[in-house]
């Protein structure tokens, strides 16, 4: 009889162990990288205590990963959206009160041009302020000669954004496109292409207001509305924001940060937004190349014929000088 009792207890113990192993597997599998990732990247992710590496091709299960822990969120592959991802659930951000004593003074992002391969001193001064709000105008962390290529997109002009995408694809360069809601709604196929080709579609607000002239509640609504459209129609959301016209307040910086977004400014730019002011490819190449410096965030407008014509040469010349193009998501890590 003792032998039978011992055998029964042994069976019960074995089944219990199997059940625990199955439960543990169910808890971890949803947060594992997709099967397309290499085994080495899986090991790297497992070894990190922070959020796993996220890029625009990573599938997330939002039940297991907080949207505040990552910068780019996508639905599952094989969805019926133009990005190829399944739609994501809408989000609703609480409107928190501004911290006591925070300023509502209107500020405009501007700076002097770089020279001698060094950022203008005003860029460092801006970054000193931005550090408190997790915002970016100059990468002071990287030891490489890194560049971040960004475009502002509010409307389409002569199919120039598609030409820009063609160059980026040929040169294998990542970029961020900061788009208004109106632009996203009107150019769905173009936005889908940006996402599928690995670029960031950043949030540039719904109606392009000056964030120095609207309430904190309106600020959050502007960003939330754009994000939810991307979530529902593209299965995608990127937690990078650019202030319309570069106008902001410290209150606005804090509001953007409270939503888990990074405010992205720039340290290299020129007057390229006027579609009637065409000065030629060489002008654009000279303007951008003369202002490059390590850690630069480059702002270009996708409606510029000069930019579309010059982009390939700018990329080649920058690489010849030892620069490396990276995505904003790599900085955010």
Catalytic residues: 152, 301
Class of residue 100 by CB neighbours under 10 A (exposed 0-12, middle 13-18, buried 19+): exposed
Cα–Cα dist 70/60, whole Å: 10
- Exposure string (b/e) for 217-232, b if CB count within 10 Å is 16 or more? ebbbbbbbebbbbbbe
What are residue 255's phi and psi, to 5 degrees?
-65, -45
Tokens of 233: 């129609």
Cα–Cα dist 229/149, whole Å: 24
Class of residue 285 by CB neighbours under 10 A (exposed 0-12, middle 13-18, buried 19+): buried
What's the Cα-to-Cα distance from 185 to each of 111, 143, 156, 229, 290, rounded to whole Å? 33, 39, 12, 8, 36
Cα–Cα dist 201/243, whole Å: 14
Report the sign of the C-alpha dihedral through residues 23, 26, 32, 35, in that order.
Answer: positive
Using left for φ > 0, alpha for ψ between -120 and 50, and beta otherwise, residue 10 falls in: alpha
- Chain centre to alpha carbon of residue 303: 21
Cα–Cα dist 307/323, whole Å: 19
Query: In degrees to the nearest 10, what's the CA dihedral of 286, 159, 84, 62?
Result: 60
């Amino acid at each position: 009889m003792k032998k039978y009792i011992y055998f029964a207890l042994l069976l019960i113990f074995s089944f219990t162990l199997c059940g625990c192993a199955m439960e543990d597997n169910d808890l971890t599998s949803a947060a594992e990288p997709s099967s397309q990732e290499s085994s080495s990247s899986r090991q790297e992710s497992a070894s990190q205590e922070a959020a796993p590496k996220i890029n625009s091709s990573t599938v997330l299960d939002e039940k297991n990963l907080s949207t505040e822990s990552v910068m780019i969120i996508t639905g599952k592959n094989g969805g019926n959206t133009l990005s190829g991802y399944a739609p994501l659930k809408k989000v609703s951000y609480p409107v928190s009160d501004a911290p006591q004593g925070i300023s509502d003074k209107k500020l405009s992002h501007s700076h002097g041009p770089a020279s001698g391969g060094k950022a203008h001193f005003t860029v460092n001064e801006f970054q000193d302020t931005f550090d408190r709000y997790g915002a970016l105008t100059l990468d002071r962390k990287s030891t490489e000669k890194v560049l971040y290529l960004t475009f502002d997109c509010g409307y389409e002009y002569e199919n120039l954004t598609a030409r820009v995408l063609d160059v980026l694809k040929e040169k294998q360069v990542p970029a961020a496109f900061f788009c208004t809601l109106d632009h996203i709604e009107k150019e769905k196929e173009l936005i889908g292409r940006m996402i599928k080709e690995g670029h960031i579609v950043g949030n540039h607000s719904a109606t392009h207001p000056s964030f120095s002239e609207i309430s904190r509640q309106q600020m959050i609504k502007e960003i939330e509305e754009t994000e939810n459209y991307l979530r529902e129609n593209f299965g995608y959301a990127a937690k990078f924001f650019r202030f319309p016209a570069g106008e902001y307040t410290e209150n606005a910086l804090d509001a953007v940060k409270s939503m888990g977004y990074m405010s992205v400014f720039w340290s290299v730019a020129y007057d390229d937004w006027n579609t009637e002011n065409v000065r030629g490819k060489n002008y654009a190449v000279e303007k951008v190349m003369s202002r490059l410096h390590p850690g630069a965030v480059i702002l270009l407008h996708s409606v510029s014929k000069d930019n579309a014509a010059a982009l390939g040469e700018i990329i080649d010349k920058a690489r010849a000088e030892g620069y490396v193009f990276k995505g904003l998501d790599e900085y955010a890590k």
